[in-house]
Structure 1
Amino acid sequence: MRAYVLHPDLRNADARDPELALEEACNLTEALDELELAGAEVVLLRQPRAGTLFGEGKLEELKAKFIEAEIDIVIIDGLVSPIQQRNLEREWKLKVLDRTGLILEIFGARAQTREGVLQVDLAHLTYQKSRLVRSWTHLERQRGGVGFMGGPGETQIEADRRAIDENITRLKRQLTKVVRTRELHRKSRKKIPYPIVAFVGYTNAGKSTLFNRITGADVMAKDMLFATLDPTMRAVSLPTGEKVILSDTVGFISDLPTQLVAAFRATLEEVLAADLIVHVRDISHPQTQEQALSVRSVLRDLHLDEEAIAGMLEFRNKLDRLPEAEQAAVQQTALRDPLVVAGSAARGDGIEELLTEISERLAEPMTSERLQMGFGQGAALAWLHRRKLVENQEPNESGMQIDVTWSEKHRQQFLKEFQGSLRQE
């Protein structure tokens, strides 16, 4: 299908750069294999029309372009009301899709796991329910029926809305089971005392490339929006030898449809359960700052607390795409800020520094303690030595005086196994 992309420019003070917004909308369109991008433009809108969004002159001008370019579908990069969508389709005799609908189509094409498919279906139905006004041309018709399944006088739109509600209820029931299974998996992972590190970031920031570079996995990583939809998890060893579980998550985007924030909450709960969040930023993108703000906004929508958001580790990716002077400035910022690491996942730059920072951030507070062990406590002493917790030991008349430096986790494990066999001093 040949697609034409329009970005309505309302000239709001807080609006994104229209040309960059149009470029992102084109990239979204190209992310769907069945769409061929045949044209795109920014349309200045001084006063949006309630019924058609565009004025009569612009409607005619665009219609002529669509006919000449043999366009099959028009993508409008923004929110289009159901009435506007219906009227535009009637005027242009073409399929019209707004930004939310386009993102839903991409998610539907990419979801792989059962949970992902269910979540996309749920989001689609929620979206369709709001669009019934334009989805049917026979709303004036009424149909008869018997019993409670469509009684006399029931309009077609009421029947369709009821059918969608029933499907939504069924999908939510199925999703509840899937979420329960994911919760069981999460609990089983907690029994393995590995911290979880979640990668988040704007779509196409390079999360999957970074994930593959660190884990050696073969997760789909392309220069394409929403290359990753379903979460992927792998266990890796940090430079300290400690194992962690890395989680690659769906990319965020500005104006993420509210249906998707709700529908994908179960998937994004991996972020909420993470011990550390790594925000992967495309530092070469012209609107990298705006993208970073969008990511933080979505995390707030997920009810992640402000302390966790403020404490995120940030990997400023795609450093190799910047001019040398700008690369030096980004690296200087990273040297000054303990929460920032700069590098390139594609080239492997900054990976060691990132893993070292992850190790340090996950490291538990250590405390020093002096223990007194009796002569027969060889097993307890061996336990401490195996974990390299002993700083110094000296024999005395009661047995052995041991100086240890350990985390609270090691301390509790030791006391559970050997409590009663030592004195603390």
Structure 2
Amino acid sequence: MRKGKPATEPLFQPAEGLKPLAERMRPASLDDMVGQRRLLAPGSALRRAVESGRVHSMILWGPPGCGKTTLALLLARYAEAEFVAISAVLSGLPQVREVLAAAEQRFNEGRRTVLFVDEVHRFNKTQQDAFLPHIERGSILFVGATTENPSFELNSALLSRCRVHVLEAVSPEDITQALRRALADEARGLGGQGIAVDDERLREIAGAADGDVRRALTLLEIAAELAADEGGHVTEAALVQVLADRTRRFDKQGEQFYDQISALHKSVRSSNPDGALYWFARMLDGGCDPAYLARRITRMAVEDVGLADPRALQMAIEAWDAYERLGSPEGDLALAQVVIYLASCAKSNAGYVAFKAAQADVREGGTQEVPIHLRNAPTKLMKQLGYGSGYQYDHDAPHGIALDQTAFPEAMGERVYYEPVDRGLEIKLKDKLDRLRAARAEARKAHD
């Protein structure tokens, strides 16, 4: 396999001025890339492979604007291969087959093809399978880009033929470096146009980009256009206009969505109201439906607070009802307050564990007969058959409890599912049940 040549030629075409700044400023070499120090550090396995031209089929997994497309372009460049890009959003199976046929022809002619598939997770299993024989033969170097967890979104056959490389959101410091480069570059960037942006404004743009280099360059380009009417200086007032509609990264059905609801739930469980409130605010800011959050908060009250503080469930339902009546933003505060309360109060999953244990016994035990003394006897025939025979009416028993009366099928014997914890209201429940269970055991022993 031939060694890749150094990336000295530009990756852009003559009509450069018509392209957005982010496209014009794509790095022409690995050294020009910002961020991804772990993955592309000098001497790293991937960097050595790219620089030697010995690249492999891979999946690039990372957030928007972290450099997935740029890295794929550089792979083709160093490997002296044809770069072909398709989008899973815009391409169907017929287009995929056309691209693969052209790559097969180049392969037979001794030329290589880097096939870049953007948003590969949007292809279904059949479409993903179409790449497999070509990857195996080596007629394509497959590079799939995805913002979603590959283990959930890509089929195992494709994953087994590709290495997964995880890219990270680019830090504000690295994004600031990319912005400075764009301001200084006269050939591709804004250099020579008299645009002046001080360091504080650059840091504001970098922070607003939220890890996305492409977004940062787009914001800079818009700011530069406004500055052209202000003598070339990007003022605070102009930047306020540019950044007015900024939003944080959030995919309502993607991995970030589930990561953030997991962080909210676990912060509540860990009794950290500050952390819980942060993740609640993050999800609202990202556009999450507050009604969904209300449902999940109610689940937390049941699952993680439970009987340690029964008020939690009541408060969660009341907050949900308040949101339904008030809507946003007024109703958001009701949900925020119950998040704080759930994270601050006593916790117990004893009820949750007990229910799961009972369900397991039901699944494994089959259809057990109801004990004769617990059966309903509404008719004369049922009474003649003994239904309800031997039942002790607890209110007539000493202390209101028939201690030697079982509630389980005879084949099962007694079970203990619910084990209260030493927290909150369950301290009292535990004390009562411990005494009651001990008395029942003594009564059964005496009866036997």
With the length of structure 1 as denominator, give the TM-score of the two structures. Answer: 0.24
User: Which structure carries more helix by proportion?
Assistant: 2
Question: Which of the two has higher C-alpha Rg?
Answer: 2
More strand by share: 1
